[in-house]
Amino acid sequence: MKYKLPIHCPSCETDLKVTKLSCENCNTAVSGTFELPMLLKLTQEEQDFILQFFLYSGSLKQMAQQMNISYPTVRNKLDDIIENIKKLQSE
């Protein structure tokens, strides 16, 4: 089962930070306070969309055909993600 990465605090909704990274092989651990990368702050659906967009070399037309949805629907999703990223950047 693939676990969903939580990005907001379940208690107060504040953005979560990475405080520990560890090596599965030798158990070395690094502690600190790190920002989550921008892409990880997006929803899983948005991340999947960006991955698909990348795999189709940025062709919205091809994406629309493969996903069986119309071109404007794909473009609207992309526009919404761009808007969301801009909002995250300005925060």
Contact residues: another protein, CB under 8 A: 64-65, 68-73, 75-76, 79-80
The dihedral sign for the CA sequence 56, 62, 64, 67: negative
Considering the complex, state which of residue 36 and residue 72 has its C-beta at the smaller distance from another protein. 72
Considering the complex, state which of residue 34 and residue 71 has its C-beta at the smaller distance from another protein. 71
| Closest-CA residue to 80 (of 27, 30, 42) | 42
Backbone region of residue 80 per phi and psi (left: phi > 0; alpha: psi in -120 to 50; beta: other values): alpha
Contact 36, 42 (CB under 8 A): no
Q: How far is the CB of 67 from another protein (least distance, A)?
A: 10
Q: How far is the CB of 52 from another protein (least distance, A)?
A: 17
Q: How far is the CB of 74 from another protein (least distance, A)?
A: 10
